[in-house]
Amino acid sequence: METAHIAILPSPGMGHLIPLAELAKRLIHYHYLSITFIIPTDGTLSKSARELLDDLPKNINSVVLPPANLDDLHDVKPLARISQTISRSLPSLREVFKVLSTTTRLTALVVDLFGTDSFDVAKEFKVSPYIFFPGAAMVLSWMLHMPTLDEMYSCEYKHLQNPVKLPGCIALHGRDLFYTIQDRKDESYTWFLHHCKRFGLAQGIMFNSFIDLETSAINALNEDNKNSKLPPIYPVGPLVQSGSNDGVDVNDCLKWLDDQPHRSVLFVSFGSGGALSPEQLLELAFGLESSGQRFLWVIRSPTRKAPNANFFDAQKQRMNAAMLVQDMKVALRPKVGEDGIVWREEISTVVKCLMEGEGGKRVRNKMREFKDAAAKALSVDGSSTLSLLQVTHKWRTQTTI
């Protein structure tokens, strides 16, 4: 039988392209598929995106769609811009599908959480639509339940008096949910809810977690799927980006690290989408210094980054904090002042606790447990490997949907 061909459509922005690129490399390495990345844009493709696509294995091709015309949109929010870019790229996507459907055995389309409008094109060509969700099972559960929550509550979520508890998940205050849903009159909320409702159209949802990390949340999702029309879920994580130093010479840092005592250095980084105010940056610097601990801080010069570069990552940070502290117990959460600043004294206290205190010791022990569990999940017969095999077996054996 001819090799199954998979189309992958990331939402605009490097933060959406990178996770799907890592998934593609996993698919190619283990499962002998051919893949085409289809890239929607609202302008010229960034240099970093082009370099990432060029560095993919040779059996992963890429097609950049003509830029979507958004000239009539003014001062739109990032999620609206992302969604409109994909929606207005559907005619171009349809043309690419015409070619792929005649030159390959096109069996599946994989999108991220904001690419669900492309399912309409997949249906036209009898191609199975799938979602790759780059976050945790708990966050996925919230998105799957959003249509129900929208009907259940009429007030703003941040005004709810009691925390909301979903099956298998820790209870969360409404104020800790996605920023996007904090104003129900905003266009971002409308788009967010739109995509959440379309999750049910997928043939399956892969997500970046594993059973030993989120046992309760994953079991609850599987139970929900038995009792509803939700698509099957597949935990395939952890998926992380292969090492990249962005052209920076790290030899001096590594040499310095080699000279430090074992487990004595705090690594400080806020990811590619992290941005702190000047005031918070200063407080962090003073707090780290006054803690008396060794630290290595990765900090970038300010850049004018596209607002959609890491949109989803930025949206779920409060949820991540609650999950890491309360559920997984692998983090310590500093207190935030009424002005939204974490002050130097609090930073110093938390850093000392993490590096020297009993709380930090418990965190490190738990992290070692999860590290071993992650390696096991990715082993030849590990849970995530077998979960991904289930998906690719469907792709390789199907002829139509």
Give 78-135 pLDDT, tens digit per residue: 999 999 999 999 999 999 999 999 999 999 999 999 999 999 999 999 999 999 999 9
On the question of pLDDT at 136 being above 80, the answer is: yes
Q: Are residues 255 and 164 in the same domain?
A: no
Q: Which two tokens stand for residue 256?
A: 């310095």
**Separation between Cα atoms, residue 275 and residue 290, nearest integer Å:** 22
Residue 202 is part of which domain span? 4-242+380-396
Q: Are residues 235 and 263 in the same domain?
A: no
- Structure confidence at residue 195 (pLDDT): 98
Please say if 16 is a catalytic residue: yes
Which residue in the list 5, 42, 112, 212 is annotated as catalytic?
A: 112
Q: Are residues 388 and 283 in the same domain?
A: no
**77 lies in some domain:** yes
Q: Are residues 98 and 224 in the same domain?
A: yes
Query: Residues 335-346: what's their mean pLDDT?
Result: 92
Q: Are residues 347 and 261 in the same domain?
A: yes
**Burial zone of 156 (CB within 10 Å; 0-12 exposed, 13-18 middle, 19+ buried):** middle
Q: Are residues 151 and 72 in the same domain?
A: yes
Residue 321: pLDDT band (50, 70, 90) is confident
Query: Residues 6-24: what's their mean pLDDT?
Result: 95
CB 114 within 8 A of CB 17: no
- Structure confidence at residue 86 (pLDDT): 98
Provide the H-helix boundaries in 47-184: 47-54, 78-87, 90-103, 119-124, 137-152
**54 lies in some domain:** yes
On the question of pLDDT at 309 being above 50, the answer is: no
The Cα-based distances of 5 to 105, 106, 118, 164, 346 in angstroms read 5, 5, 17, 41, 52
- Structure confidence at residue 245 (pLDDT): 56
pLDDT digits (tens, 9 = 90+) for 161-220: 999 999 999 999 999 898 889 999 999 999 999 999 999 999 999 999 999 999 999 999
pLDDT digits (tens, 9 = 90+) for 274-308: 678 899 999 999 999 999 999 999 887 665 445 44
Q: Which two tokens stand for residue 87?
A: 């929606």
Query: Residues 335-340: what's their mean pLDDT?
Result: 89
**Which pairing describes strands 60-64 and 105-111: parallel, antiparallel, or unpaired?**
unpaired
**191 lies in some domain:** yes
Q: Are residues 359 and 390 in the same domain?
A: no
Q: Are residues 282 and 221 in the same domain?
A: no
Q: Are residues 360 and 388 in the same domain?
A: no
- Structure confidence at residue 165 (pLDDT): 96
User: Residue 251 phi/psi, 5° resolution?
Assistant: -60, -40
Please say if 42 is a catalytic residue: no
Residue 63: pLDDT band (50, 70, 90) is very high
Query: Residues 259-265: what's their mean pLDDT?
Result: 95
- Structure confidence at residue 319 (pLDDT): 86
Q: Are residues 143 and 176 in the same domain?
A: yes
**288 lies in some domain:** yes
**124 lies in some domain:** yes
Residue 2: pLDDT band (50, 70, 90) is confident
- Structure confidence at residue 308 (pLDDT): 47
The b-or-e profile of 272-297 (16+ CB within 10 A means b, else e) is bbeeeeeeeeebbeebbeebebeeee
Helices (H) and strands (E) in the chain, counts: 15, 9
Query: Residues 366-380: what's their mean pLDDT?
Result: 97
Give the domain CATH number at 288.
Answer: 3.40.50.2000
Which residue in the list 5, 16, 145, 195 is annotated as catalytic?
A: 16
**401 lies in some domain:** no
CB 118 within 8 A of CB 45: no
* Percent of the chain whose predicted confidence (pLDDT) is above 90: 78
Q: Are residues 282 and 385 in the same domain?
A: no
Total domains in the chain come to: 2
